[in-house]
Amino acid sequence: MRNACLSVATFVLVLVLSSRAADKTLPAFKKLQALAGDWEGKDDSGMAAMTNFKLLVAGTTVMETLAAHGMEEMLTLYTVDRDGIALVHYCPTNNQPRMRAVPKPVT
């Protein structure tokens, strides 16, 4: 019984600590979510570049597709990862870099 109580207490502590980390990350992730929709611009050469941000999995993931002139389409997935935002970029050069950013606290 004592081991069960200790396990439950540990589980609750982990949940509390991870929710605090997510609370710090949430404002930055909400900015990503706010980009949902189609965007159009120009690259350094003045050529058209189009991107689309789409919310997936009940808003827990943001998918970005980028189409730049003369390049194949690229895809990036963003999601909250503990106290940061993780992303995986799928590139036409057939690599998949994974990155993670920890936003500065809002003051």
Is the separation of the CB atoms in 85 and 99 below 8 Å? no
**Residue 25 to residue 104: CA distance in whole angstroms:** 9
State pLDDT tens for residues 62-86: 999 999 888 899 999 999 998 899 9
Output the pTM of the full model. 0.73
Report domain extents, the chain: 2-101
**Residue 65 to residue 7: CA distance in whole angstroms:** 43
State pLDDT tens for residues 17-60: 344 445 567 888 999 999 999 999 998 889 999 999 999 999 99
